[in-house]
Structures are given as structure tokens and as C-alpha cells.
Amino acid sequence: MIKDVFNGNEKAVSVIQKLLRLLKVPVTDSTISETLQNHPDYPSMLSLHDALHSWKIDTRIVRASIEDLDFYPLPFIADCNTKKGESYLLVTGVTENKITYYTDKQKPFVISRDEFLKIWSSITLFVEANEASGEKNYFESRKKERLSQNKLRLNIGIGLVMFILPIIAFSFGAASAGVTWGYSVLLSLKLAGLFFTSLLLWYEIDKVNPALQKLCTGGGKAMNCNAILNSKSSKLFSVISWSEIGFFYFSGSFLSMLIASLLPAENAFYIVSLLVLLNLCALPYTFFSIFYQWRVAKQWCLLCLSVQAVLALEFVTALSSGILSSSFVSITFKPFAAIPLLLVFATIGFWYLLKPLFIKVQNAKRSRRQFMRMKYNEEIFSTLLNKSKKIAYSTEGMGILLGNPAATNTIIKVCSPYCGPCANAHPEIEKLLENNNNLKVQIIFTASNDEDDFKAPPVRYLLAIAEKNNAEVTKKALDDWYQEGMLNFDAFAGKYPMNGELLRQASKLEAMDAWCDKVDIRYTPTFFINGNQLPAMYELKDLNYFLQ
């Protein structure tokens, strides 16, 4: 659950993650999430289809027949409308009376066949994996994902240790001073309250977080955190939210008790007594909150109820341990009384310093997702492409041709043999060719036929190699050049001995040089897609989506 709070896992993403696990197709969770959420039609069935297709999984969306339900290959994804709001059910079992399905990566559910037929729209996604299915460079991606996950676990672990060690130290300190067990319990309750109020603050910033949504609506229709946290009564004087006040209360009192554990027993007891009296002042809010949810809103907020439970348990602990009765006797004004107050104000300042940053991060994530969906919108791409520079001069017979010669999609790459970005684009070209059978790539070089042009020698070699019409050798030569040849031309030339072929390349260099002047090539690499220059907001790797 906590992992999902940080990752923002959505139900459609979880369904695909579970599907790929069942199919034993190697794709990392982060790749699944990024691929789906960047799709312009996410979370439609089309986005699921396209994502699975990109990992070489055969997919088919059909309007299935109820009569043939028993004969459909498992697993399949069914488009449904459930009471809990799931759009997709991953069906893994069909019997005469029951349907077994998943809605996420966790446990399976079982419903009656009749109930399933009531919620099923009949739109179904069938899948079939094969040996080629999976994410390219999976192990490299998995290594990066594990590193990121381990960093998160380490940070959480360090945070827990920083909280738990003081509790243990406080417990031993209290025991050695002959103090009641109530101190350790109170400190633990402060930590629990801090946890719940932190989730409430997270919910205020990231209301669409699926994990928090699931937590807040897990009890059925009556559970609705959003209705409570967005109500008029959710803020004091319409300025500061009760979630923030609760966070200030628990964080300030928790830190106060930690500091108290370092002080002599008498001073520690004094600070704890103040905190117990502060809890008494907070108790009326507990009754107000429960009454409001019960009688006014007629809906419940699970996180809010958890906070009220912690406040009540604090009171019960202080009462049963004898701390409460002792607190009234010991209260006189001392300088130590300023400690809880100062810590509360410090927490307030700290929160309002960080809150704008948290909001900016969430807005940035949301904006990026919206931008990516716009960017991958086919209509927008086509419009921008049609408005970009058009090639008015033929490229027939020029440069090096890769891919399917009969393809209807053509990428023209205008590059320099000694251009770093051109070298970086070469692996992307190979990926595009590997993933798309209906694609050819034409490489045109900016070199001239002048003897003084340092770019001419490697281009002559590459053209001479391509002239032999051996696609594998041409591909290997380009790989060798961009990987090592740029640094050592003589070593590259030694791998591909020539016997007069270089002399035949002069007219080809002159034709490419003249074409580049006519088209007004100003930088390399420059890419043209089906006769139009690739718009500036797109990278070569983005074409994978459109070419599919």
C-alpha cells in the first residue's frame, strides 16, 4: 500500500502488471506505468492494446459473445462497470457458475457468473504471448528499477529507525527513572497519529492518488474521504485545514516527547503533562468530527476516524496510567513549557515552507502527463508534421538505404559522420527498424567531394560498403563507425579493405552535397518523416508510437 502511495499505481496499470506476470512476459513495472500513462487515450482499452503490442504481444479487442464465454482463451481483460469503480477485470477462470478475476496485483476475487454478466460490457481484450514478447533491454531496466526501489526502501528504513530508536531509548529511560509505562505508549500513539495525518496531507496534495483513493473508499459507499476533506467544515475559519492542525499537533507533541526523553525525569514529566492537557483540549474535536461525519455528511473518512481513534487512545492511556491525574498537580509555569509551543511553530513553518514544493512537484507530474498525452496524439502529430518543412527535391539513389525497400513509411536522416548527436541517434534508428516492418531509413551525409573535406573519407567508405547490397555488412559497418570508427578512421578502414570502389563514390557525394544545399540543411542530425521535417518537440524514439 505505501509503495503504491508513492508510485501512484492506477488500476489499469495494476491489471496489466498482473497480466504480464501471469503470461511470464518480462516487462518492468515502471515501464508498464510509463508506457500506459503516456498514451494519449489512457486509460482506454486502446491504450492497453497499444502498450501490449509494443512488447510484441498479440492483442485483439473484440465485442465478445456471452454464449462463447466458456471457450475464450484465458487470461483476458474484460471491460466492466463495478460498484467499486474498476474498469477492467483480468479474468483468469471461467466455470459454469463462477468467474475468477483480478483487479490489481494482489489476491483474486470470485463472483457469480450472473453477476459478472451484469457488469460486463462484452468489450474484451484477448492476448497471446510468444518467445519474442517482452521489454527490450529488460535486465538493464530491471536493474535500474531495483536500484530505485532499494533507495526508497532505504529511505523509509532510515526514517523508521530514526523514529523507533527514540521510542526504545525513551522506554528504557522511563523504566530506569521508575516512570509509568504510559509514556512509551503515548510516544507510540504520537507516531501513529503523525502517520495518519501525513497521509491526510498527502491526500490534500494528491487527491487522485489511486492507493489513497482505494484506502479511503475501501469500506463501500459510506466511505468517502473526499466528501469530508472537501467539505466546508474541513477548514478552521476557511483558512487552515483540520488535517494540517492534526499534523502540527502530532508532530509537535512527538518531537516534544523525544526531547523530553533527553531531559531529567522531573522536566520530562512536566513536558508530558503539558501534552496530556493539550490532548484534553483536542478531545472535543473528536466528538465534533464523528458527529459531523455521522449526522451531517452521512459519510465516513477512514483516515479521519483513525486520527480520532488515536486522540481517544491517548486520553485512555493517560487516564489508565495515572499520568492524567498527576498532570493537574504538577502544572506550574516553567521555562520548559515553551518547548512544545516552539516545536509546534517550527513544524508549522517547516510545513508551509515545503507545501508549495510538494504542490509544484504534483502539478509538474500532472502537467508532464498531460503534455505527453498531447504529444502522442496522432492528430496533433499529423498537423505539426504537415506544417513543417517539406522536401521539394528527390532523394532517389542517394546515401544508404536501410530496412524494407517497399515500405510506405520513410525516414530520411541527414547527418555528419563526425556528429555526436548523429551517433546517438543511430541506435534509435535500429530500434525503429526492428519494431516496424513497414519502414525504410535513408541516410544522407552532409560531406562534399572536396579533397579538403575531412568528412569525405569515412562517407566514401560507408557508401562503398552499402554499394555491395549486403544489408548485414552495411549494418555492421554503421555500428562499427558510430561505436569506434569516429575515434580511429584508420582502424575502421582496415576492417573494410577496398579495391577501387572508393573512386566510384565521387558523384554520390556531389549529389548529396547539392541536395543538402537546396534543402537548406542547417544542423545535423535532421530528420524527415514521409517528406516532412520532424517537428522540434519530437524525438526519434517518439516515432515508435506513431509508426505502429
* Euclidean distance between CA atoms 313 and 196, whole angstroms: 14
Q: How confident is the model at residue 87, as a pLDDT?
A: 81
Residue entry with cell 498479440: 58
Q: Which long-range contacts (CB under 8 A, 24 or more apart) does 102-105 make?
A: 102/15, 102/18, 103/11, 103/14, 103/15, 104/9, 104/11, 104/14, 104/15, 104/18, 105/14, 105/17, 105/18, 105/21
Q: How confident is the model at residue 210, as a pLDDT?
A: 67
Instruction: Report the candidate in 429, 419, 464 with the shortest Cα–Cα distance to residue 539.
Output: 429
Most distant pair of Cα atoms in the chain: their distance: 106
Residue 482 burial (CB count, 10 A): 19
Name the pairing type of β-strands 98-102 and 109-112: antiparallel
One-letter identity of residue 222 = A
* Euclidean distance between CA atoms 58 and 129, whole angstroms: 6
How buried is 142 (Cβ within 10 angstroms: 0-12 exposed, 13-18 middle, 19+ buried)? middle
Q: How confident is the model at residue 163, as a pLDDT?
A: 62
Q: Which uninterrupted H or E stretch holds 378?
A: helix 378-387
Name the pairing type of β-strands 409-415 and 240-241: unpaired
Q: How confident is the model at residue 24, as a pLDDT?
A: 94
Q: How confident is the model at residue 137, as a pLDDT?
A: 82
Q: Alpha helix locations (H) across 418-496?
A: 420-435, 456-466, 471-480, 489-495
Residue 522 grid cell: 542547417
The torsion angles phi and psi of 377, rounded to 5 degrees, stand at -75, 125
- Yes or no: say if 384 and 537 are a contact pair by the CB < 8 Å rule: yes
Mean pLDDT, consecutive 10-residue segments, the chain of 548 residues?
Answer: 48 90 92 85 87 91 88 92 75 92 84 91 93 88 84 75 64 51 83 91 80 66 76 84 92 85 75 86 90 87 91 91 69 68 86 91 85 87 94 93 94 94 92 90 94 92 92 93 84 87 91 95 94 93 84
Which domains are delineated in the chain? 2-128 (3.90.70.10), 163-367 (1.20.1440.130), 390-547 (3.40.30.10)
One-letter identity of residue 87 = S
Q: Please give the C-alpha separations between residue 65 and each of 23, 121, 123, 132, 176, in angstroms, as whole numbers.
A: 24, 10, 9, 30, 73
Write the DSSP symbol of residue 390: B
* Euclidean distance between CA atoms 142 and 76, whole angstroms: 26
Residue 171 burial (CB count, 10 A): 18
Torsion of CA 244, 245, 248, 250, to 10 degrees: -110
Q: Which uninterrupted H or E stretch holds 9?
A: none
Residue 285 burial (CB count, 10 A): 17
How buried is 71 (Cβ within 10 angstroms: 0-12 exposed, 13-18 middle, 19+ buried)? exposed
The torsion angles phi and psi of 361, rounded to 5 degrees, stand at -65, -45
- Yes or no: say if 251 and 301 are a contact pair by the CB < 8 Å rule: no
* Euclidean distance between CA atoms 387 and 11, whole angstroms: 38
| Residue 87, helix vs strand vs coil | coil
One-letter identity of residue 299 = Q
Query: What is the CB-side half-sphere exposure of residue 187 using CA atoms within 13 A?
Result: 28
Q: How confident is the model at residue 226, as a pLDDT?
A: 77
* Euclidean distance between CA atoms 122 and 465, whole angstroms: 55
- Yes or no: say if 447 and 416 are a contact pair by the CB < 8 Å rule: yes
Cis peptide before 166, with omega less than 30 degrees from 0? no
| Residue 125, helix vs strand vs coil | strand
Q: Which residues pair with 109 in a beta bridge?
A: 101
Residue entry with cell 503523525: 194
Q: How confident is the model at residue 4, as a pLDDT?
A: 47
- Yes or no: say if 542 and 375 are a contact pair by the CB < 8 Å rule: yes
Residue 161 grid cell: 529507525
